[in-house]
Amino acid sequence: MQNTIKPLSGQVALVTGGSRGIGKQIAKDLAELGADIAINYNNSKQAALLVKNEITNNNGKAEIYQCNVGNNSAVNEMMNTIQKQMGNINILINNAGISRERTVRNMSLDEWEEVINTNLNSVFYCSQSVIPQMIENKKGTIINIASLLGQIGNIGLANYSASKGGVLAFTRGLALELARYNITVNSICPGWIKTDMTDRIPEQLKEGILSSIPLKKFGEPEDISEMVSYLILKGSYITGTQIHINGGLYM
Ligand code: NAP
C-alpha cells in the first residue's frame, strides 16, 4: 500500500475530553490529518477506548490517558507520561468541560467550584504544563473550546458562563505572552451543539432554543472540529481571537 504523507504527520495532539462529543470528533479528525492523538478522559474509559480503536483501525496512532484536568498535579503527571510515550505535544485542544445547572441563589459551593475547576482552571493547568514543550519545538497551537455562554448570559448557568468568559480572557493574555515563540492561542465559541451535554436539555426547552437560532438548527460536532483543523492547518496568522460558531445566535 502507498504511504501518503499527511499534513499533521509527526505531530502530537492532546485533546482533553476526547472520549465523547466535540472532543471525540476533533480527535478523529486530527488523526485523519496524520497527528498522533493523546485522548484524555476522566470517567468514560470504554468510550475513550472506542475512539482509540476507531483511529488505530484507520491506520492512525492514538493512546488514552485518564486524568481529571481540574487537578493540577494529575495534569502534570499526565503530561509527563504523554511526553515519554508519544513525544513533545505540538497541539493542545482544551476541550473538556461540564455544566451544572442551578440559579446562583441555590447554587452550592461544589457546583460553582467543580465547573470553574473543570472548565477554567484546567485550561491554565494544561496550557502551563505544555508551554515548555512547545517553546522547545519553536511552534505550537493551543485551541480552547469556550462557549457562546462565555459571551452572553443564560439563566441557571452563571457558573458555566463565568468559566467560559474566563477562558476567553485567558486566551487573549496567553496569546500575547506566547506570540514571540511562534505559538498561537485561540478560542472557539460553540453555540448549541448536538452532544450528550445538550441531549440532557428537556424537549420543551430545546424547542425554545431552536426557535431562537437564526439558522434554525443545532450545530454538529463536525462544525467545531472543522474550525479546529482550519486553525491548525491554515491559521498561522490568527492568534488571541474568539471564533463564533453558533448559527447566528450571537454576532
Ligand atoms: P460532552 O459530550 O458532555 O463531553 C465532555 C467531555 O469532557 C467528555 O469526554 C468528558 O470525559 C470530558 N470531561 C469532563 N470533565 C472532565 C474532567 N474533569 N477531566 C477530563 N475530561 C473531562 O460535552 P461536549 O458537548 O462535547 O462539550 C465539549 C466542550 O465544548 C466543553 O468544554 C463544553 O463546555 C463546550 N461547549 C459545548 C457546547 C454544546 O452545545 N455541546 C456548546 C458550547 C461549548 P468523561 O466522559 O470521561 O468524563
Pair type for strands 36-41 and 62-66 = parallel
Q: Ligand 1: which of 69, 195, 243 to mutate, judged by most atoms within 8 Å of the beta carbon?
A: 195
CA of 24 to the centre of ligand 1 (A): 10
**Distances 37 to 128, 196, 197, 223 between C-alpha atoms, Å:** 19, 22, 23, 20
Nearest-Å Rg of the Cα atoms of the chain is 17
Write out pLDDT tens, residues 23-40: 999 999 999 999 999 999
Burial readout 115-147 (b: 16 or more C-beta within 10 A, e: otherwise): bbbbbbbbbbbbbebbbebbbebeebbbbbbbb
Q: Is the CB of 98 under 6 A from ligand 1?
A: yes
Active site residue 160: yes
The CA 88 to ligand 1 mean position distance, Å, reads 24
- pLDDT tens string 50-103: 999 999 999 999 999 999 999 999 999 999 999 999 999 999 999 999 999 999
Which atom of ligand 1 is least distant from the CA of 194? 41
Q: Which of 41, 65, 160, 237 is catalytic?
A: 160
pLDDT in tens, 124-167: 999 999 999 999 999 999 999 999 999 999 999 999 999 999 99
* Sign of the torsion formed by the C-alpha atoms of 18, 13, 142 and 30: negative
In terms of Cβ atoms closer than 10 Å to its own Cβ (0-12, 13-18, 19+), residue 156 is middle
pLDDT tens by residue, 190-249: 999 999 999 999 999 999 999 999 999 999 999 999 999 999 999 999 999 999 999 999
Q: What is the pLDDT of residue 4?
A: 77
